[in-house]
Structure 1
Amino acid sequence: MTRRPATPLPPLEERRRLREAGSLTPDQLAARLGVAIGTVRAWESGRTTPRGRNREAYAKLLAALAESPTRTGAPGSAPAGGPEEPDAAVVAVGPAKTVSGGRRGRAAAKPSAFTQTPPPSSPFLPFLPFSPFSPRVPSWAPPEEEDPLGPVSDLTPVQAFDALYSFCAPSLVRQAYLLTGRRGLARESVERAFQLAWERWPEVARDPDPAGWVRAAAHEWALSPWHRFRPRHRRPEPPLSDASDRALLKVVLRLPPSYRRALLLHDGVGLGLPDTAAETEASTPATAGRLLHARRAIAARLPELSDPRVLHRRLAELASTEPLRTAGPPAARDGCERRARFWTRFALAFVAVLLGTTALSLRTPPAGHEPSVPPGETVRDVPPRVAPGPLSEKQRKLRAKLREELLHGPERLAPQPR
């Protein structure tokens, strides 16, 4: 009995782009499909995959949105007066069409600053929603066999790590820059996160979301409070050229680190509130409070960013302003291996010094036996120690007697002639 191939679905980035291009919120899409809003967010983030009738209904709705001539970027959608302004989702999710003039054209001509969008020739593309160590063809790809999941890829650990690095590093370094405001620290955080990932590669490779694992490690390293004690991080960073970019970055950096991270994950990366709470290791109500506080703080100083969609687009533009680059995947692997060799040699040297010290102490014992101090003897006729006060007559006589005697003991007995 052969199974019927599952209905193909578009990529994760395309699902969300189509929904936002059709002016549909997650609540409206969930109401049309008859599912919960958390289910729609899980489908768009790749944490779960729709099945059965829900999958067919979801695929038909996305196909209708893709064929609609009114969606953003479709042929014939621009009015006669000029090119249509790109939607915020197109700017932030993937590569968009070039728009003439101003900041919007600069951001739209570049790839996303947050969402990891691999190139068409990327080896990570065929198994994007899955672990790179157990890659399978996703459900939206055309089935080649009876099994819609397809065969398991034969990538080596080095190839899988290089694909993950090429897939995540460009966007992670921009996210780290928004968290810290320092270019060098952003690059260092991403490199340190990938070095840690290569060190624990068996664990990362089997993780359901390896990109999320590396993102959490990079964010934690970037927001570490110990960086303030490093001399090179005390020097001021060169300011941005645009005044509005400087104002937005200054407001974002004034937020507490936890609020800043929640704002970046929810309004920048596009994670849902439960996923943001899980990645920041906080409860959902606490994460919602941090997000609302961050939005109010930004809206108080920059009223034009009170709309979350406008704030999302401006964060993407700000992250794409600086040309931040990271070293290649071989540099991350070599750095991890150098660190491992250093600590291994340090541990071996410490053990060798400890063994040498122990052997030296055993070879050089004391020359002779040193007797212990004998116990004290009881001295008679000495008054007990009392509280301060006037001396009695008996005590004064004893004091005078002791003062008259020699200090080195009693007189020696000498024989007397008869």
Structure 2
Amino acid sequence: MTRTPETPLPSPKERRRLREAQSLSQADVAAAVGVTRATVRSWENGRTTPRGTTRDAYARLLTGAEEVTPRQETPAPALVGAATGPVRTSPDRAEPTPEPPSETSPAPELAPQPEPALGRDPALGPKPELGPDAELEPLSPSLTPDQAFDALYAFCAPALVRQTYLLTGRRELARESVERAFQLAWHRWPEVAMDRDPAGWVRATAYEFALSPWHRLRPRHRNPEPPPAAPADRALLDVLLQLPPVYRRTLLLYDGVGLNLPETAAETEASTPAAANRLLHAREAVATRLPELAEPKELHRRLAEVASAERLRAAKPTTVRWGGEQRARHWTRAAIAFTVVLIGATTLTLRTAPDHYEPPLAPGATVHGVPPRVAPGPLSAEELALRAKLKGEMVSGPERLVPEAG
């Protein structure tokens, strides 16, 4: 049996360039080929490759052999997480069907459900609305690093502070987490700027810092902060804070930020079935305490209201960059000082330490049973005569004795 050779395709980067050259979005390509937008994104990222008739249709579309008319999308109000990066909602966004919560059970089947529209915090001023297929445009190469960082911060920080507040229930910790995340992003700016999703990188870093268990050891963390003024907001925040951190994060990413299930699973470092069941468990816990929020749309709307009611303000990007640079200088100087102290201690040890082994002296001990030494007394007459005779002899010794004949 002879196998038909597959249609050649360009590289993943070239696929995206060809699509953008025709002024087509990923949703346009997905509708023309008959797949989801997430599938087209995975093709352009190089994670998967189309096959069969889908591959042929995709190749014809990239080469221009098949003409596609771009769709005119009506802008929708921004979601809670719209200001934190690409809005990753799509027509294939789905809600899990109710199943018993178990992280090892198969992922629930997904049914399409439209995403409710949420407004942006009015205190932050007007901002262009983002539709369901909107993406964060790549930063222009002509921007300086400072300008690119400030643009990313202005786009992500305001909503990210509100998200982190829902995650922790603490206003100061939310601001500090976002600032630390952006300071780390500025410290690793080449890596973050080349990342496919800089906003997702910063969001994941802020969440990790906010949920760190070491905060409970801080004296400031032991004193509770004032709860929200509205009783309904206070009740919802109490329910969220009673969830385990990983369930709370999954619920916030899916029902608040608007990520789909695979993206939520990837950001929480879990499998898709585990993320689905965590989401079901979190929704069930919220619905048990607050039955009026059993509907995901209503829960999504209430999360946005609670996050926007606090009017949390993010610091200015220049302040964040300056703080990150000051922190880097502080730790650099501390490392240099520690190294100098270590070198000095090592040098002092080498100068004062002995260069050879000296056995220790045994301590003195008293010896018993030895008679005392007696000094000599005066010589007798015989001893005196002998001494005189010896002194009178030759120095070389006595004369040789010669035997005589008898």
The aligned residue for residue 223 of structure 1 is: 211
Following the alignment from structure 2 to structure 1, what is the Cα–Cα distance between the partners of residues 278 and 342?
Answer: 50
1:411 to 359, 369, 390: 369
Between 365-374 and 294-303, the greater mean CA deviation after superposition: 365-374
Contact 2:255/2:300 (CA < 8 Å) preserved in 1? yes
Q: Which runs of structure 2 are paired with 1:133-144 in the superposition (5 Å)?
A: 135=140
Q: Which runs of structure 2 are paired with 1:67-146 in the superposition (5 Å)?
A: 92=80, 110-111=119-120, 119-120=127-128, 129-132=136-139, 135=140
Query: How many angstroms does 1:410 deviate by?
Result: 3.8
Structure 1 unaligned spans of 5+: 16-29, 67-71, 74-88, 96-106, 122-126, 136-152, 375-406
Structure number with the bigger relative contact order (C-alpha 8 A, sep ≥ 6) is 2
Following the alignment from structure 2 to structure 1, what is the Cα–Cα distance between the partners of residues 40 and 306?
Answer: 28
The aligned residue for residue 6 of structure 1 is: 22
Query: How many angstroms does 1:414 deviate by?
Result: 4.2
Q: 1:51 to 1:203 in 2, by over 3 A?
A: farther
Query: How many angstroms does 1:373 deviate by?
Result: 6.2
The aligned residue for residue 314 of structure 2 is: 326
Q: Bigger radius of gyration, 1 or 2?
A: 2
Identity %: 57
Query: How many angstroms does 1:411 deviate by?
Result: 1.3
The aligned residue for residue 268 of structure 1 is: 256
1:342 matches 2:351: no
Letter in 2 for 1:6: Q
The aligned residue for residue 309 of structure 1 is: 297
Letter in 1 for 2:136: P
The aligned residue for residue 353 of structure 1 is: 341
1:246 to 227, 231, 234: 234
Contact 2:32/2:68 (CA < 8 Å) preserved in 1? no
The aligned residue for residue 236 of structure 1 is: 224
The aligned residue for residue 257 of structure 1 is: 245
Query: How many angstroms does 1:357 deviate by?
Result: 2.2
1:190 to 157, 164, 178: 178
Q: 1:367 to 1:285 in 2, by over 3 A?
A: closer
SS at match of 2:309: coil
Q: Under a length normalisation based on structure 2, what TM-score does the superposition of the two structures give?
A: 0.64
Query: What count of residue pairs does the alignment treat as equivalent?
Result: 307
The aligned residue for residue 34 of structure 1 is: 34
Following the alignment from structure 1 to structure 2, what is the Cα–Cα distance between the partners of residues 194 and 120?
Answer: 23
Query: How many angstroms does 1:40 deviate by?
Result: 7.6
Following the alignment from structure 2 to structure 1, what is the Cα–Cα distance between the partners of residues 67 and 80?
Answer: 26
Following the alignment from structure 2 to structure 1, what is the Cα–Cα distance between the partners of residues 239 and 261?
Answer: 22
SS at match of 2:152: helix
Query: How many angstroms does 1:233 deviate by?
Result: 1.1
Contact 1:94/1:117 (CA < 8 Å) preserved in 2? no
Letter in 2 for 1:129: L
Contact 2:265/2:271 (CA < 8 Å) preserved in 1? yes
Following the alignment from structure 1 to structure 2, what is the Cα–Cα distance between the partners of residues 203 and 316?
Answer: 31
Following the alignment from structure 2 to structure 1, what is the Cα–Cα distance between the partners of residues 261 and 195?
Answer: 21
Contact 2:166/2:237 (CA < 8 Å) preserved in 1? yes
Q: 1:287 to 1:368 in 2, by over 3 A?
A: closer
The aligned residue for residue 379 of structure 1 is: none
Q: Deviations over 1:72-117 (max 9, x none)?
A: 99xxxxxxxxxxxxxxx7665779xxxxxxxxxxx9995169xx99
Contact 1:33/1:57 (CA < 8 Å) preserved in 2? no
Following the alignment from structure 2 to structure 1, what is the Cα–Cα distance between the partners of residues 355 and 59?
Answer: 84
Contact 2:250/2:278 (CA < 8 Å) preserved in 1? yes
1:174 to 157, 162, 169: 162
Query: How many angstroms does 1:355 deviate by?
Result: 2.3
